Amino acid sequence: MSGATGAGATAARVTELPMAKALNAGLRAAMAADDRVLLMGEDIGPLGGVFRITEGLQAEFGARRVLDTPLAESGIVGTAIGLAMRGFRPVCEIQFDGFIFPGFDQITSQLAKLTARHEGTLTLPIVIRVPYGGHIGAVEHHQESPEAYFAHTPGLRLVSPSTPNDAYWMIQEAIRSNDPVMFFEPKSRYWPKGTVDFDAPAAPLHASRVARAGTDVTLLGHGAMVSVLLQAADVAESEGTSAEVIDLRSLSPIDYQPILDSVHKTGRLVVASEAPGFVSIPSEIAATVTEKAFYSLEAPVLRVTGFDAPFPPARLESTYLPDVDRVLDAVDRALVY
């Protein structure tokens, strides 16, 4: 870790970490701070999970707090609900995004509804970690983006970090929440490094953030799409267009104020997501921004998404997933209105 020290000063705890290691550090901090926190998932013990997010945690905290489970997502979530009812704070790992559907009934029929069913007297502080999205050259059920299913379900909170610093702080905030949190981790961003400040907390869990200031068009996305949007903004700047990039961070609830402030300034909005575009989070944002900022818009809100088709074989993923060129094409269309 780096940081200057002097007489009476403390070293700044800042370092460069990939998101995978930042998540590991965040889970470790949460487990050290509260012995009610326990981890559950397939191969998360000695192996440390397929992406090694939980590496070393079972050795440190023991097999009673880092539980290797059977290959049964419904059982993982259902057991976590029972544990939460008895005062624990479980963190479930779904090994890959497409594996979440066997647990869909427990999540949407039970986890999302039990607090309301008990009129608020029962809380379920459960985090469900979901590695999601493409760009890793895998097969179907390993590169999907199922966020919209859960954002549509009242009673669940949904967040997705795009940077290692956000990952470190947001996983701890999610674990402290007394509501169920779906924690979507962009697996293609697990390995690139970024700055993690262990002393300065990130923005609040459900706050959007301006990742890059601009004046001509607003680019909005979450997870892995944020890095694509920042690359597109660089290219746009070289062509004379100033793009503001907003990292959504929270998918439910959505923090609209930074988005609306930006649209009032730029008059144009492009929303990007790896998920199919039909009945999607970008669709909801487009509708809401049109309702709330109609008179500031100089062009329709445009969406850049995956296609409305099952995720293709790995060799076709670059055609399916939104890239810089597709984002810039939307920017050009927005500017000609």
**Structural domain for 320, as ranges:** 209-335
Check whether residue 64 and residue 165 sit in a common domain.
yes
Closest by CA to 217, choosing from 198, 240, 194, 250, is 240
Please tell me the predicted confidence (pLDDT) of residue 141.
81
Check whether residue 187 and residue 63 sit in a common domain.
yes
Which residue, of 197, 222, 253, is where some domain finishes? 197
Q: Which of 135, 141, 142, 206 is catalytic?
A: 142
Handedness of CA 42, 47, 52, 56 (dihedral sign): positive
Check whether residue 111 and residue 226 sit in a common domain.
no
Q: For residue 220, is it within any domain?
A: yes
Could you confirm whether 152 is annotated as catalytic?
no
Amino acid at 224: A
**Residue 159: both structure tokens together:** 């967040």
Q: For residue 249, is it within any domain?
A: yes
Check whether residue 186 and residue 228 sit in a common domain.
no
Please write the tens of the pLDDT for every residue from 29-79.
999 999 999 999 999 999 999 999 999 999 999 999 999 999 999 999 999
The answer to whether 129 and 77 have CB atoms below 8 angstroms apart is no
Q: For residue 1, is it within any domain?
A: no
The answer to whether 148 and 238 have CB atoms below 8 angstroms apart is no
Q: The domain spanning residue 238 has which CATH number?
A: 3.40.50.920
Q: The domain spanning residue 143 has which CATH number?
A: 3.40.50.970
Check whether residue 169 and residue 243 sit in a common domain.
no
Closest by CA to 189, choosing from 26, 94, 51, is 51
Handedness of CA 264, 267, 273, 276 (dihedral sign): positive
Q: What is the mean pLDDT of residues 271-296?
A: 97
Amino acid at 197: D
Please write the tens of the pLDDT for every residue from 314-328.
888 989 999 999 999
Q: For residue 6, is it within any domain?
A: no
Coil vs helix vs strand at 40: strand
**Percentage of the chain surpassing pLDDT 70?**
96
